[in-house]
Amino acid sequence: MTSEVIAPPTAGAGFPNLAVLPPRVRVIMLVTAQWLSHSINVLAEIGVADHLVDGPRTVAEIATATETDPDALYRVLRAAASLGVFAERPDGRFELTPDADCLRSDTPGSLRNFARHVGHACRLQSYASMVDTVRTGDQAFRKVHGMQSFDFYAAHPHLAEVFNGAMTAFSEAAADELSGLGDFGRFGVIADIGGGHGHMLSAVLRAHSGVKGILFDRPEVLAGADPVLERNGVQDRVTRTPGDFFADVPVADAYVLKSVLHDWTDDECVTILGNIRRRIGDNADARVILFEATVPELNTFDFSKLMDIEMLVNLGGRERTEAEWRALFHRSGFELATTTRATPPNWVLEAKPR
């Protein structure tokens, strides 16, 4: 490396403003961004933030608590702290920052499990084969591991626990906002398809006391739902229904799917939506409500365009434009009725039977 790579103007001020850097330096920063993400993922994996809740600690103390090498740990912490994730004090101790707080296990909407999930070797191995995906269109994860991601998690419960924890944290953080963007009170029964532990469904039911819910997911996922439903006081209004949405779904007046369809190909989505359409039958008032990203056209930056790379490499699904969502609904017997922008990258997409 050369002195071309300039530091942020203020230590710990955050990632440099790429727009003001020369093109060559900007590309260097982008190419080497994995050095930073790997560092943060490792600090999340070993739980550093949890060990700083009670105040600053020396590297030696953190290393003892995390069973790590003090020198190696210091170098990783120093890199993260230079961008505001943790902070190094003049006395050599490290402390939490607002960004580092996001990596605490006990923070609402914690990103610790997400960082652990993204940084796990099984996913990084897929990215090492990404060039083959670009050449062939075949999913790298399946090529590297010999199976789809969700089958891999089923075979490795400890990884499934991390993944489910990451997805639960996202649902928990977004549930109140998203549940307030739909007119759910008009439905008698709402089925949350692939609803995980029920954070989204709980938020909807809390806001609409006359509505009942169905939480539909794989049996091993539903096993963790009771504490969430009980904490939200909706356990008596929710039917837990294990199943496979590729085979069938329960009967309901409305179907909610949060960040589900982006995991799957168009043909697989048509199967899922087709099962819902079959269950709806001639109920013209039934609705499908998606909480998904919608990719903007041309060169506009949107996080959904980066999420789409993860779908391409590790899951085989895709993020979709509004036109692609319309086409997908049409193939499945629905018509896209309304779209509502939520906190990026989320949108609320409501479809009706046609």
Domain that holds residue 94: 18-107
- Judge if 191 and 92 occupy the same domain: no
pLDDT score recorded for residue 319: 98
Residues paired with residue 239 on neighbouring β-strands, in sequence order = 214
Structurally, the chain folds into a number of domains equal to 2
DSSP, collapsed to helix, strand or coil, labels residue 200 as helix
DSSP code at position 317: -
Tokens (6 digits) for 331: 């193939």
What average pLDDT score do residues 154-176 get?
A: 88
Domain assignment present for 307: no
What pLDDT does residue 12 have?
Answer: 52
Extract the tokens encoding 229.
């439903």
Is residue 177 predicted with pLDDT exceeding 90? Answer: no
At 58 the pLDDT is 98
User: Which active-site residues does the annotation give?
Assistant: 262
Does position 9 have pLDDT exceeding 70, yes or no?
A: no
* CATH classification at residue 188: 3.40.50.150
| Residues 302-306, mean pLDDT to the nearest whole number | 96
Which of these three, 107, 139, 165, is where a domain ends? Answer: 107
Q: Are residues 211 and 319 in the same domain?
A: yes
Q: Are residues 178 and 93 in the same domain?
A: no
Q: How far apart are CA 258 and CA 290, in angstroms?
A: 6
Q: Is residue 200 part of a domain?
A: yes
Question: What residues are paired with 289 via a beta bridge?
Answer: 256, 350
Same domain, yes or no, for 46 and 178? no
Asked whether residue 25 is assigned to any structural domain, the reply reads yes
Based on the fold, state whether residues 99 and 196 are members of the same structural domain. Answer: no
- 304 belongs to a structural domain: no
184 shares a domain with 321: yes
Q: CA-to-CA distance for 195 and 186, rounded, in angstroms? A: 20
How far apart CA 276 and CA 287 sit, in angstroms, is 10
Same domain, 96 and 194: no
* Claim to verify: residue 94 and residue 183 sit in the same structural domain: no
Please check whether residues 192 and 326 belong to one and the same domain: yes
Whether residues 206 and 60 fall in one domain: no
Burial (CB < 10 A; 0-12, 13-18, 19+), residue 146, is exposed
Pick the closest to residue 254 from 208, 219, 319, 221 (CA basis).
208
CA nearest 331: which of 279, 283, 267, 284? 267
CATH number at residue 50: 1.10.10.10
| Range 341-350 burial, b when 16+ CB lie within 10 A, else e | eeeebbbbbb
Q: Quickly state the pLDDT bin for 3 (edges 50, 70, 90).
A: very low
Taking CA atoms, 131 is separated from 95, 118, 167, in Å, by 39, 19, 27
Both tokens assigned to 112: 């610790």
Task: Judge contact between 174 and 346, C-beta under 8 A.
Answer: yes
